[in-house]
Structure 1
């Protein structure tokens, strides 16, 4: 059995371990160590290399952005910013049929701009928006389905933890990736609102109409939410104009959201301790997955799986677009059983070199940016794809009286909208590349 065959066999073994609920980081670490030892027929060198590999992986400055953005999200959650965002969106949209669901989606987009985590966005916004939807008689399917879909905006609207990981893995500019995600993120938010509008017209009983908020109320709502907009502009704008590096911008964002949380009176010593511990726990989990992925991907590279796969695809004469479609379909399947970060870390070292050998009529840098956003959106879709759909389970845990089947039914129209958006962005790369080209 040659190296390539051993690498291929390791993939179903890895997936089997994940199905058996072995932590993804540990599963990749074991497969990486075991695979390398089998290929080299030596255990001692690979075990000895783990101590130096640990330092090599985590001593890099770029990874420090992750805990800072996570802390920023923790402060935003603790500081009650989600409620201000929802009230502001509801002041302008709540009087429409389905308007509260639209406001929930808009608030998810706003919260995602200072959070970077879809799971945190879904959980936080659901606690604010679900009671309001219940109050106005929204159906369980529409309320939970719209919030599950809206929560996915947490990893698409910059800053995004998953986008940072992709940029690090593929050695792309984090600033450029953030800029490229802006238009697709806006498209997603608007698209979800259109889905709600169509939904309530096909099923008028799914939502009622709330009273219109007057001009004074709208102005007050905007004034309540301006600090959040200021932090977003300071972080993203500061990165672009060169005031901060991405890591420095993350630190500024974390400090800004911390001060706002302190100003709101919601952040006491107990709350600060909770934010720090939650950030440390999430960071440790992410770092362990990154370490396991690095070990496993080193094994795949040693076994020449990415190179051999690219050579096989080139020899088979497949169209680049067929290869892209197959890769995106693979992400949809993986999304049914894996979380977004694990998918990125497991697949990018295999798929990215393959994509970069294909000709899509763009330069290498633009191809990398375009592919990264497509992957991000497809991974985002996995968060609401049955049977796992992490966002679905989070929403359902917050609304246990709504059957899971209703949530699945409610999320289907949003899945269809996402698939249409992926197809549009794949066929028209200029939508993604418009801002990077204009601002580059």
Structure 2
């Protein structure tokens, strides 16, 4: 059997394991290790397993993952994240669809703390769904807004998706974080505009919420000042060149713990719970990355990436046409494969093609993360949809998927704008990091 056939069989087995819901890391470990053993012998597979595990586990860059996750978990455990929603609620809640718009804004703010889409959807769902139900919001709009707003967690920095992309492609985490700012804000604005138009056309979808006085608005904004200060200091420190991403993660986690303690919201019990959740999430990410670095040599030995690159490069279509095919593959795969698994599986195959065609890898990283976001609300996997379902068990799953469709369309518009105008993503990294 040729190396190409071994690679094809390995990838088929991997996809089958993922469809059967075998944990991503374990599936990649099994296929990567066995594939290398078949092509290069068991001693080579054992050597790579030991060396790649040590290399990844000792990588200083990956310290950002547990620290930013801890920052978001502390904010959630102490209830400080709900103040972001309260502030947005006080400002825009009184207009049609205002509570749904406040949910989107709250998700964007929490995304700048946690870097996790699941955490954003879960936290804001608990805070906002009951309020929208109280004011008779259509369940499709309310659940769709939470599921779609949560996807901002892997686009607005600090983004776990950008960290994994950076490790897989040897790109700068700082530049990727900068590149995600304007696209993230653009997508947030598109979501809010979409809600406004939908509620203008059909007022029954999102009735007006209660009016708030200037004093109530000021009080709500004042309550969000501590958490907004932490966001501005940590993320602004990266943009201003004061901190590296690792230093910013440490500062952010430390400040969030200090803020919670001073506000008497953080007990030893909540700190322990937040730390334990952070360790579990970090271990999951680390296992996926180590497994990816075992799978990549197998793919290289099978020559599949080179064959795909040669095929795509030989197509008689423009470079943007090849890019379109790659993005279309991501959109289709996102319907069946969890986002990080898709990222790890496809980067060794598609990234060499992107560099060969001369596309900017930072820009491509933003495009990929947007497609990962779309996968988070695409049936049948739609992780964020199932998260919202757990918070709103009385809403049928079909209704939630119908509710996210307009937001999926807004994401497609955002993707088209980013392809047409790459400077939306590249302006900040090119102007602030030379």
Distance, in Å, in 1 between the alignment partners of 2:6 and 2:320 is 29
> Structure 1-normalised TM-score?
0.95
Distance, in Å, in 2 between the alignment partners of 1:164 and 1:118 is 14
Q: 1:377-416 to 2 correspondence within 5 Å?
A: 377-416=370-409
Q: Contact 1:98–1:196 (CA<8 Å) still a contact in 2?
A: yes
> Structure 2-normalised TM-score?
0.97
Q: Contact 2:19–2:337 (CA<8 Å) still a contact in 1?
A: no
Q: 1:36-435 to 2 correspondence within 5 Å?
A: 36-40=36-40, 42-360=41-359, 367-435=360-428
SS across alignment from 1:307: helix
Structure 1 position 254, deviation (Å): 0.6
Deviations 1:193-216 (A, max 9, x none): 111112212322112112321211
Structure 1 gaps of 5+ residues are 361-366
118-127 or 240-249: which moved more? 240-249
285-294 or 427-436: which moved more? 427-436
Distance, in Å, in 2 between the alignment partners of 1:107 and 1:49 is 44
Q: How many residues align?
A: 433
Structure 1 position 347, deviation (Å): 1.2
Distance, in Å, in 1 between the alignment partners of 2:372 and 2:311 is 26
426-435 or 1-10: which moved more? 1-10
Distance, in Å, in 1 between the alignment partners of 2:251 and 2:311 is 47
Q: Contact 2:64–2:245 (CA<8 Å) still a contact in 1?
A: yes
Q: Contact 2:309–2:349 (CA<8 Å) still a contact in 1?
A: no
Q: Contact 1:101–1:133 (CA<8 Å) still a contact in 2?
A: yes
96-105 or 217-226: which moved more? 217-226
Q: Contact 2:158–2:177 (CA<8 Å) still a contact in 1?
A: yes
* Partner residue, 2:3: 3
Q: Contact 2:331–2:371 (CA<8 Å) still a contact in 1?
A: yes
Structure 2 gaps of 5+ residues are none
149-158 or 323-332: which moved more? 323-332
Q: Contact 1:7–1:300 (CA<8 Å) still a contact in 2?
A: yes
SS across alignment from 1:81: coil
Structure 1 position 171, deviation (Å): 1.5
Distance, in Å, in 1 between the alignment partners of 2:190 and 2:413 is 10
SS across alignment from 1:243: coil
The Cα RMSD (Å) is 1.4
Q: 1:173 to 1:52 in 2, by over 3 A?
A: closer
Q: Contact 2:335–2:380 (CA<8 Å) still a contact in 1?
A: yes
* Partner residue, 2:27: 27
Distance, in Å, in 1 between the alignment partners of 2:366 and 2:140 is 29
Q: Contact 1:79–1:264 (CA<8 Å) still a contact in 2?
A: no
* Partner residue, 1:363: none
Distance, in Å, in 2 between the alignment partners of 1:99 and 1:14 is 44
Q: Contact 2:48–2:294 (CA<8 Å) still a contact in 1?
A: no
Distance, in Å, in 2 between the alignment partners of 1:387 and 1:280 is 29
